[in-house]
Chain A
Amino acid sequence: MAVTAVEPAVSTPRPPPLHADATGARNSTVVRLLRFALANVRRRPERFVLSTLGIALAIMAVTVVRTISSSFAITGEETVTTVLQDAPLWVVPAAGVHYDSDVEAIVADGPAPDLTVPAGWTASRTVTALWDSDAGELPVYGSDAVPDGTAVLGATAADRLGVAAGDPVTVGGTDLQVSVDGEGTVLRVPEAVAADLGGDTGWWTVSPPAGDADRNDLGPLLADATGLPTTTDPGVQPSGEALVYDTVGGSGAVTFQQKFSALFSGQVTSSALGLISTIGLVLGFIIAVSSFLAAVQERRREFGIMSSIGLADEVLYFFLVESALVFAAAYLLGITFAGIAVAAVIPAIATPVAWLQAAGTVAAYLPAMAIVGALVPVHRLLQQRPVQLLGADA
């Protein structure tokens, strides 16, 4: 400062930079803040390790729950995609449909309603049944859209039955040739085969004429023609009469499949699991704040010196960097713990994709937690004058 004061401002209107290394001034500041934070970590390594461990355990709990939730969401999207088969409209019976967790597929709770579609529209009835196969119970969707003598299996169903494309399979006394398409446990067969299995429940999938395929109001169009109610929300259940689910209409960027999968993941996050893990995250945050407050208490003199030479605002950056270090380390540790835990405890549910999705979701919470975690101790410091901080220990 003294140098800038005596230097005549003749050649340049700006004072010389504080740091000689002008090219990386900003970078250098960040590096110095990081070195300062690391020096403080080294001063009390056990506290850094403990607060990191506490937050990591909390992040682990939330990541495990989110992994389960993502996994269910993926299942939800796959099952509804298997049902729709690219049709934009889904007419479900008055009794509704539900996800049967035993067979991992959507099944109808009542017979497909009577339906007459306008000229040019295509309606395909699906009859749902459960087939007691050698590999356990499997869901069967019967539809005339499937050619006679053919069974279209999801990859999981093919795996369970131990068959591949081209192999024969006998379903309810009918010999069919296997083809494999998509994921899941569903066997799609000709309607008569499903009816032979006792299938008397089902739904319709409806497609408009080719010229209307891009329209956004297919649901209301079909509703006008049939007198049935329509909705774009899969959370709405039929009440007393059949219901038309419009999977392409409505406003907003979220697709019907995504909304349907959100219903699945919501079941997890709103269950006991979700509640417990959220409380765990709150406890983890309390640990972080408590640890920072302890640091404030122990470093009163140091912050007093900083405040007295005008570095009051900079204290925020010190805490932000330390907080970011703690949360980043805790995040990496937490998602690693969670990966190991889900692989060991719930291998049937968790997939690497679901784990990665969960890790991404949890990462979204962290910046806010790290910033608030740093603001609390800084607020505590800024309430006191430098002379109070430099004085006797409170």
Chain B
Amino acid sequence: MSAVGLGLSYGVLSTRRRLGQLVLPIVTTATGAFLLVVVLAMAAGIRAQAAALGHADEIRRAIVLIGVTVLLVGVVEVAVSTTRTVAHRTRELGVLGATGVPRPPVVAALLVEPLIASVIGAVIGAALAVVTAVVLGATGAASSGISTSGTVIGVLVAVGVSALAALATSIVPTWRAASRPPIRSLSTGG
């Protein structure tokens, strides 16, 4: 197995150990994903609501923009959580560095946690949104119906954007942590 592969395995193991710490980022990402999928699944109804206000196309675009923005807000919590993780594991990172583990596998190990948190959050949020959409469609509460293609696009966008955004926002703190001289990590880490 390559060094990065070993790093990923190490990351999965440490993520399992720290799953309790990931509840908040998972919840915030799930909330963002839920809203985005619901918005896209119920696009027809929202378009009708937007038409009543005038400027239907602009309002529809604004709704998608805000849905994606709220998803990103949820994902930022994943990155904040990563900074917390990195701070907690400073000494562990120092040990890894001191024993000669190069930077790429360490960064890969640290990025597993935000990736898993964001994907789990997005999948939970998207699943809840699909269930909500199906229930609303079945009970007739969504008068304009539920769009299957909109739901599928919503799920894909929610999971894809969450994972990418989590990696993009987490890469800097993990890179900085993995780049610290081991002696500093070992002497100052909590």
A contact residues vs B (CB 8 Å cutoff): 44, 46-47, 50-51, 53-54, 57-58, 60-61, 64-65, 68, 72, 99, 101-102, 104, 267-268, 271-273, 276-277, 279-280, 283-284, 286-287, 290-291, 294, 297-298, 341, 345-349, 393
Identify which of A276, A291, A297 contacts B63 (C-beta below 8 A).
A276
Among the listed stretches B9-17, B71-79, B129-137, which one makes contact with chain A, having 4 or more residues with CB under 8 Å of it? Answer: B71-79
Task: Across the interface, name the chain B residue whose C-beta is closest to A103.
Answer: B54
Q: Do A268 and B169 form a contact, CB below 8 Å, given A47-B83, A58-B73, A280-B73?
A: no
> Which B residues are CB-close (under 8 A) to A291?
80
Instruction: Pick the most buried of A267, A287, A297: most chain B CB atoms within 10 A of its CB.
Output: A287
Which residue of B70, B172, B190 is within 8 Å of A46 (Cβ)? B172
Residue pair B53, A286 in contact (C-beta under 8 Å):
no
CA distance A44 to B73 in the complex (A): 20
How many residues of B are counted as interface, with CB atoms below 8 angstroms from the partner's CB atoms? 40
B81 within 8 A of A: yes
Q: Is the CB of A345 within 8 A of B58?
A: yes
Q: Which of B31, B55, B67, B69 has the most CB of A within 10 A?
A: B69
Contacting pair A50 B169 (CB below 8 A): yes
Cβ contacts under 8 Å, A57 to chain B? 69-70, 72-73, 76
CB distance from A188 to the nearest CB of B (A): 21
State A255–B184 Cα separation when bound (angstroms): 65
Contact yes or no, B55 A348, CB < 8 A = yes
How many Å from the CB of A329 to the closest CB on chain B?
A: 14
**Which of B32, B55, B69, B84 is close to A346, meaning CB atoms less than 8 Å apart?**
B55
Contact A279 B65 (CB under 8 A): no
B residues sitting closer than 8 Å to A (CB atoms) are 24, 28, 31-32, 35, 39, 46, 49-55, 58-59, 61-63, 65-67, 69-70, 72-74, 76-77, 79-81, 83-84, 87, 169, 172-173, 176, 190
Question: When the two chains form the complex, which single residue of A44, A54, A72, A272 contacts B39, counting CB atoms closer than 8 Å?
Answer: A272
Contact A287 B80 (CB under 8 A): yes
- Which residues of chain A are within 8 angstroms of B81 by Cβ–Cβ distance? 290
| Total A-B contacts with CB atoms under 8 angstroms apart | 130
Which residues on A sit within 8 Å (CB–CB) of B69? 57-58, 60-61, 64, 280
Contacts of B59 in A (CB 8 A): 68, 273, 346, 349
B66 x A65 contact (CB < 8 A): yes
Bound Cα distance from A60 to B70, whole angstroms = 10
List of B residues within 8 angstroms of A297 by Cβ: 84
Q: Is the interface of B mostly helix, strand, loop or mixed?
A: helix
Q: Does more than half of chain A's interface fall in helix, strand or loop, or is it mixed? A: helix
Question: Which residues of B sit under 8 angstroms from A290, Cβ to Cβ?
Answer: 24, 77, 80-81
Contacts A46-B173, A53-B169, A57-B73; is A345 near B62 (CB within 8 Å)? yes
Give the most central of A44, A99, A279: most B CB within 10 Å: A279
B73 and A283 within 8 A (CB):
yes
A277 touches B49 (CB 8 A): no
Q: Across the interface, name the chain B residue whose C-beta is closest to A346.
A: B58
In the bound complex, do residue A283 and residue B62 qualify as a contact, i.e. CB atoms below 8 Å apart?
A: no
**Given the contacts A50-B83, A68-B59, A286-B28, A271 and B66 also touching, CB distance less than 8 Å:** no
Distance (whole angstroms) from the CB of A147 to the closest CB of chain B: 32
Cβ contacts under 8 Å, B79 to chain A: 50
Could you tell me the distance between the alpha carbons of A210 and B59 in the complex, rounded to whole angstroms?
A: 45
Looking at the assembled complex, report how far the CB atom of A51 sits from the nearest CB atom of chain B, in whole angstroms.
6
**Does B62 contact A280, Cβ atoms closer than 8 Å?**
no
| B83 pairs with A277, CB closer than 8 A | no
**Nearest-neighbor residue (CB-CB) of A271 within chain B:** B49
User: A294, B83: Cβ atoms under 8 Å?
Assistant: yes
> A58 vs B32: C-alpha distance in the bound complex, in angstroms?
11
Smallest CB gap from B190: residue in A: A393
Contact A280-B76, Cβ < 8 Å, known A101-B52, A272-B46, A273-B59: no
21 contacts between A and B (CB under 8 A): A47-B83, A50-B76, A54-B77, A58-B70, A58-B73, A72-B54, A101-B51, A101-B53, A271-B50, A272-B39, A272-B46, A276-B35, A283-B28, A283-B32, A286-B24, A287-B80, A297-B84, A341-B65, A346-B61, A348-B55, A393-B190
Known: A276-B66, A348-B58. A47 touches B80 (CB 8 A): yes
Q: A271-B50, A272-B49, A290-B81 are in contact. List 5 more A-B contacts (CB 8 A).
A: A68-B59, A276-B39, A287-B76, A287-B80, A345-B65
Least CB distance, A348 to chain B, in whole angstroms: 5
Question: What are the residues of chain B within 8 A of A104 when measuring CB–CB?
Answer: 54
B70 touches A279 (CB 8 A): yes
Instruction: Indicate if the CB atoms of B63 and A44 lie closer than 8 Å.
Output: no
Q: Give the chain A neighbours of B53 by CB distance below 8 A.
A: 72, 101, 267-268, 271
Are the CB atoms of A51 and B73 closer together than 8 Å?
no
Within the complex, the shortest CB–CB distance from B73 to chain A, in Å, comes to 5
A53's contact among B63, B67, B76, by CB below 8 Å, is which?
B76
Contacts A46-B176, A277-B70, A348-B55; A294 near B39 (Cβ below 8 A)? no
Of the candidates B28, B50, B61, B67, the one whose C-beta lies within 8 Å of that of A287 is B28
